[in-house]
Amino acid sequence: MHSYIRPGQYVAIRLQSDQLRLIQIVPDTIVNLGRFGSFTANQIIGRPFYFTFEILDACDEAGHQLRVVSATELHAETLLAGEGDGEGDDVETGENGVPMRTNREIVDENSSQKLTLQEIEELKREAGGAGKDIVAKLLESHSAIDQKTAFSLAKYTLRKRKKYLKRFTVLPLDVGLLANYLIEERDAQRSMELRDEHIGLIGCWGNVHHSGNIEVGEGMKPHGRYAIVDETGGLVVAAMAERMGILYPHDADEEPTEEQDVPAHDVPAHDAAESQHTNAPPKPRRIRPQPMSATTNTITVIHPYSQPNLSLLKFFGYDTNNPDESHPLHTHLKSISWMQLADPNSDPLYANEPPIIPAEELAELKQSKRSAYYHKRNRWARVKAVVDEGRAGNFDGLIVSTLLEPASVLRTMVPLLAGSAPVVVYSPTVESLVELADMYSTARRTAFINKKRELELQSSEGEAVDLSSLHEEFVVDPTILLPPTLQTSRVRPWQVLPGRTHPLMTGRGGAEGYLFHGIRVLPTTQNIQAAGNVRKRRKVETTSTPISDRDVEMTS
């Protein structure tokens, strides 16, 4: 939980202008907010999140320069004085219910503000009160201020405050906030314009959750293994890791060290050899967790290049180039390239096992050579374990947000899912997902089943059926994913002020964002066996196929 601001942590700072800045809070340094001033990081470390601070003009004797703005003050400013407790209708009306002040007299020109630009600049340099003085002066020298209606005065004051007040709010940097930051402040397309509402939906339809604390018993498989294809720079991985409780490093502090069987990886041998030959005093050696060694509650990222791009994870304390071994992602995040998954023997890391050197021989090697040997052996064992595990499949869910053709991803990945495991594909635009949904259309499924049955009837008893022509015609097997569903969602923000409630006037355009989801199913072979009698087969077709028709029917 984000209970207080930790030193070294990334936080988000919301400025008065509603701009967001992501800043790493390093102790004993100065944080500069540009025209909104600067402050020393120590003054916010250890403090709670969501506090709004005002930068004062002068420090107190201890050098403290920040004042916490209370909620009452903040609300009073939003509602603006004179409205009491905000009860009731606020339009000032005369005797006949006619608004007393209207904009009838207001001249539409920029001459009302009597302060010149130069004077304002001067004020900015000299005025104190964290910008409040400037706002007051501006209001004072506005010639038509008394003509303004309450609403327009409020709007004017608010606008000026946003421009000049030296205030900021510290927010915990979590996935939702990062997603908003990427959309508003950065190149939204690089995070595939992924919004909060879709992050929530992906996690729910993908049934992504923490796998719990029970042992993997008889008849169970390791639970909580999710396969993710993520080309948003790590945003989707971060969102799923957040749901699985493995994103925040300090969460792990509270967690007991999970008893994962760290796969052998020559580690015990390594230790034994070390203690034998270095003659070092037997100090308690911290067993370093092997990367990617967890067996439950894991994320497997499948990536097109040799390394996955998960650079956004750095905001959560996990730098993929320089991983922190105590971070939960160090053991729970695994990565495989598509080549390792499809054809592992083309990958030298996987295929070329470093030769085992017998212990006596090893003992005579120099230490650097020996550690290089262990490094290579461990790396090979790790790659092999992760790749073999990935190829064995049985994943509990598949989450895809990719630049690749979605059908090609699903063709490879859906067969690797356990029965009843969900599949979710996110795309910023609808076209690729419409095509994908069509790959699983009822007409296509019926054609697939019929063709498969034909091929099976052609082949002789006991011989394996050659289905290659079937897979050529059909990119994906339409019988193993049901029901293909396409969905979109968007939230609409409102302004709620007494007597002034309405949806926000402007919003962000761009990609709408769409989700495709379905569930991995295991089709029965029974229908096909029952196809011996021709007349009966027809009956099967007319009775059972239409049901499957309706099951996924795309029309109304």
H/E element, 205: helix 196-205
Can residue 522 be called a binding residue for other proteins (CB under 8 A)? Answer: yes
Nearest approach in angstroms of CB 554 to other proteins is 5
Residues 399 and 236 sit within 8 Å (Cβ to Cβ):
yes
Residue type, 102: T
Nearer CB in complex with other proteins: 260/485: 485
Nearest approach in angstroms of CB 338 to other proteins is 23
Q: Which of 424, 51, 77, 373 is nearest to 228 (CA)?
A: 424
Of 190, 498, 511, 528, the residue at the interface with other proteins (CB under 8 A) is 498
Q: d(Cα 281, Cα 279) in Å, to the nearest integer?
A: 6
Nearest approach in angstroms of CB 350 to other proteins is 21
Nearest approach in angstroms of CB 122 to other proteins is 30
Of 17, 34, 57, 64, the residue at the interface with other proteins (CB under 8 A) is 64
**Three-state SS at 15:** strand
Query: Which phi and psi (to 5°) does residue 302 adopt?
Result: -110, 125
H/E element, 181: helix 175-185
Per-residue 3-state assignment (H helix, E strand, C coil) for 386-398:
HHHHHHHCCECEE
Q: How many residues does the chain have?
A: 556
Which residues 126-185 are close enough to bind other proteins by CB under 8 A?
172, 174, 176
Which residues 392-411 are close enough to bind other proteins by CB under 8 A?
none
Can residue 539 be called a binding residue for other proteins (CB under 8 A)? Answer: yes
Give the number of residues in contact with other proteins, rule: CB under 8 A. Answer: 127
Q: d(Cα 229, Cα 237) in Å, to the nearest integer?
A: 9
Q: Which listed range, 128-136, 279-287, 335-343, 436-444, lies at the site for other proteins (CB under 8 A)?
A: 436-444
Neighbours of 175 (CB within 10 A): 24
Nearer CB in complex with other proteins: 164/248: 248
Q: Any idea what DSSP says for residue 415? A: G
Only one residue has tokens 């994908």, namely 436
Of 184, 324, 364, 388, the residue at the interface with other proteins (CB under 8 A) is 324
Can residue 511 be called a binding residue for other proteins (CB under 8 A)? Answer: no
Q: Which of 23, 364, 362 is nearest to 170 (CA)?
A: 23
Of 114, 221, 288, 508, the residue at the interface with other proteins (CB under 8 A) is 221
Nearest approach in angstroms of CB 103 to other proteins is 25
Nearer CB in complex with other proteins: 101/377: 377
Can residue 491 be called a binding residue for other proteins (CB under 8 A)? Answer: yes
Q: Which listed range, 116-124, 200-208, 275-283, 352-360, lies at the site for other proteins (CB under 8 A)?
A: 200-208
Q: Which of 66, 63, 10 is nearest to 37 (CA)?
A: 66
Q: d(Cα 498, Cα 90) in Å, to the nearest integer?
A: 7
Nearer CB in complex with other proteins: 462/503: 503
Nearest approach in angstroms of CB 220 to other proteins is 5
Q: Any idea what DSSP says for residue 99? A: B
Nearer CB in complex with other proteins: 121/553: 553
Of 91, 351, 359, 530, the residue at the interface with other proteins (CB under 8 A) is 530
Give 506's strand partners: none
Q: Which listed range, 77-85, 103-111, 147-155, 356-364, lies at the site for other proteins (CB under 8 A)?
A: 77-85
Nearer CB in complex with other proteins: 124/538: 538
Only one residue has tokens 């994962």, namely 260
Which residues 20-49 are close enough to bind other proteins by CB under 8 A?
26-30, 40, 42-43, 45-49
Can residue 196 be called a binding residue for other proteins (CB under 8 A)? Answer: yes
Nearer CB in complex with other proteins: 78/346: 78
What is the arrangement of strands in the sheet containing 397-401, beginning at the earlier edge strand? 333-337, 298-303, 225-230, 397-401, 422-427, 514-520
